[in-house]
């Protein structure tokens, strides 16, 4: 049981759903989870420190300026102690404070100082949830990396019906179990991934080359997201202005041939994601010296095809990664052409990009992709920051890996 001995810090927010936190704590304690709680000032209107302490068998923390609590365990240590932090219920007001990065009480200070995953469990009236301000805060918080459970659709305490109802203690418990199960398996099995990113350059002579507009952003973000899931990730990147992400092995290459060589050296891996905009062709000959304009009739250059790295990975019988995913840059018939590309190259999934749209794709911070799989399923990941799309993609890839290995 992967929840056994896990340390969960629960922050109780100020909403009527706060009473459900008691059921969740009971469920967690029954499963041998260590629980500590922070009770916010408004949370105190709904549950008492005594009921929390009775269930957790530990002190309920309330006040950042409480010298006794700070002496026992300070607010930084409290956030370091936890394996994960949960805010239940998360109100609209609390989301707003977090999106501004406030540190005005113990709860917000602990969250700002946290180095662990934080899960928000929203509960509010449907209008409050759907309000543009809350939806915009949701996007900001997702971009900061906060995870969300719910909210669900249903009848609310106020009698209205809609999205905003807090997930049940059972649903929260299942989410936590799944979260730790997956972390455990990733670690136990020492899962590895490789990501190709950026453009390649194909030199004509020592100073001239052909290349493309790719910035590498989406690939870098996917490598970061996979690594955050605990997967040992190698990023193989063409020339990019982006700083190498911390904690990830980065191999810098220039040409498509070099990228293929590094990919071969990095195998075996469990997951491969090809986001690189690899040049399809290279000059048949590269001149050793700068080509002088007077000497050369520069009307044409002979090109030869580069190897297709995605194709190589997908059809590699000896060392095929269990999941191979590609990207597809198209300007028309995006789904049809991308599906064909996936079939031709035999990869498991392809993420289709419409690169004719300036506000998404190459060089932009935003993206919108359609995930297509071999069964013909299509899932649209709506326009969002590339970091957000990357987290979704990493999760899809990990889920697929687990499904294929029948890990539940
Ligand atoms: N790809 C690759 N090696 C190549 C060319 C492409 O690994 N030599 C990969 C890309 O990283 C991407 C996928 O193949 O995951 C599709 O790339 P894309 O540029 O969309 O298509 P191409 O296969 O190059 O075909 P076309 O240019 O005709 O659209």
Contacts of 193 (CB under 8 A, 6+ apart): 223, 226, 231, 232, 233, 234, 269, 270, 271, 272, 273, 397
How do residues 106-151 score in pLDDT, each as one tens digit?
999 999 999 999 999 999 999 999 999 999 999 999 888 899 999 9
Atom 14 in ligand 1: which residue has the minimum CA distance?
310
Mean pLDDT of the chain: 92
Nearest to 12 by CA among 41, 51, 35: 41
276 Cβ inside 6 Å of ligand 1: yes
Q: Is the CB of 219 under 6 A from ligand 1?
A: no
- Minimum mean pLDDT among 191-195, 252-256, 356-360, 368-372: which range? 356-360
Distance CA 346, CA 329 (A): 17
Render pLDDT for 33-74 as a digit per residue (tens, 0 to 9): 999 999 999 999 999 999 999 999 999 999 876 766 666 667
Q: Confirm if 172 and 88 have CB atoms less than 8 A apart.
A: yes
Give me the pLDDT at residue 335, please: 96
**Stated length of the chain:** 408
* Ligand 1 atom closest to the CA of 310, numbered from 1: 7
Q: For ligand 1, is residue 256 a contact (CB within 6 Å)?
A: yes
Residue in 238, 255, 280, 351 to alter for ligand 1 test, most ligand atoms within 8 A of Cβ: 280
User: Of residues 1, 77, 157, 158, which has the active-site annotation?
Assistant: 158
- Strand ranges for 309-375 from DSSP E: 323-330, 349-354, 366-373
Q: Determine the distance separating the centroid of ligand 1 and the alpha carbon of 290, expressed in angstroms.
A: 30
Catalytic residue list contains 274: no
pLDDT at 92: 97
> DSSP states of 27-90 as a string?
HHHHTT-EEEEEE-TTGGGTS-HHHHHHHHTSPEE--TT-HHHHHHS-HHHHHHH-SEEEEEEE
Q: What is the pLDDT of residue 350?
A: 98
210 neighbors 204 (Cβ within 8 angstroms): yes
* Domains by residue range for the chain, with CATH: 7-185 (3.40.50.1950), 190-404 (3.40.50.10300)
Pocket lining: 329 vs ligand 1, CB cutoff 6 Å: yes
- Ligand 1 centroid from CA 111, angstroms: 42
pTM comes to: 0.84
pLDDT of residue 171: 97
Q: What is the pLDDT of residues 202-237, one digit of tens each?
A: 999 999 999 998 999 999 999 999 999 999 999 999
Query: Is residue 373 over pLDDT 70?
Result: yes
pLDDT value of position 2: 78
pLDDT of 277 reads 96
| Residue 214, SS3 per DSSP | coil
Report the alpha-carbon distance of residue 39 to residue 50 in Å, rounded.
11
């Amino acid at each position: 049981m992967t929840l056994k001995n896990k340390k969960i810090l629960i922050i109780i927010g100020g909403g009527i759903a706060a009473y459900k936190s008691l059921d969740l704590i009971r469920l967690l304690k029954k499963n041998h989870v260590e629980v500590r709680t922070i009770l916010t000032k408004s949370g105190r209107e709904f549950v008492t420190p005594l009921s929390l302490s009775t269930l957790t068998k530990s002190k309920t923390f309330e006040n950042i300026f409480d010298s006794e609590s700070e002496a026992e365990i300070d607010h930084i240590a409290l956030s370091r102690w936890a394996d994960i932090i949960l805010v239940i219920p998360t109100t609209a007001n609390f989301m707003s404070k977090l999106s501004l990065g406030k540190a005005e009480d113990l709860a917000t200070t602990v969250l700002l100082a946290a180095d662990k995953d934080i899960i928000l469990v929203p509960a509010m009236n449907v209008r409050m949830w759907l309000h543009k301000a809350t939806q915009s805060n949701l996007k900001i918080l997702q971009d900061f990396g906060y995870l969300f459970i719910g909210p669900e659709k249903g009848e609310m305490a106020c009698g209205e019906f809609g999205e905003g109802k807090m997930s049940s203690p059972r649903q929260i418990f299942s989410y936590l179990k799944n979260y730790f199960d997956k972390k455990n398996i990733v670690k136990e099995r020492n899962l590895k991934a490789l990501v190709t990113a950026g453009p390649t350059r194909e030199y004509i002579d020592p100073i001239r080359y052909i290349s493309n507009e790719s910035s590498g952003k989406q690939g870098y973000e996917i490598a970061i997201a996979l690594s955050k899931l605990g997967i040992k990730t190698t990023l193989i990147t063409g020339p990019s202005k982006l700083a190498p992400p911390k904690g990830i092995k980065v191999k810098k290459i220039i040409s498509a041939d070099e990228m293929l060589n590094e990919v071969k050296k990095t195998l075996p891996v469990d997951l491969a994601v090809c986001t690189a905009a690899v040049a399809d062709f290279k000059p048949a000959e590269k001149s050793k010296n700068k080509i002088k304009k007077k000497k050369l009739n520069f009307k044409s250059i002979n090109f030869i095809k580069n190897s297709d790295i995605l194709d190589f990975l997908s059809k590699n019988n000896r060392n095929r990664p269990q999941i191979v995913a590609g990207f597809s840059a198209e300007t028309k018939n995006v789904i049809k052409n991308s599906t064909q590309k996936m079939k031709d190259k035999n990869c498991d999934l392809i993420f289709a990009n419409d690169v004719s749209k300036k506000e998404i794709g190459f060089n932009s911070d935003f993206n919108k992709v359609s995930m297509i799989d071999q069964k013909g399923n299509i899932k649209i990941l709506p326009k969002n920051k590339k970091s957000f799309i990357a987290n979704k993609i990493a999760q899809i890839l990990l889920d697929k890996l687990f499904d294929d290995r029948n890990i539940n």
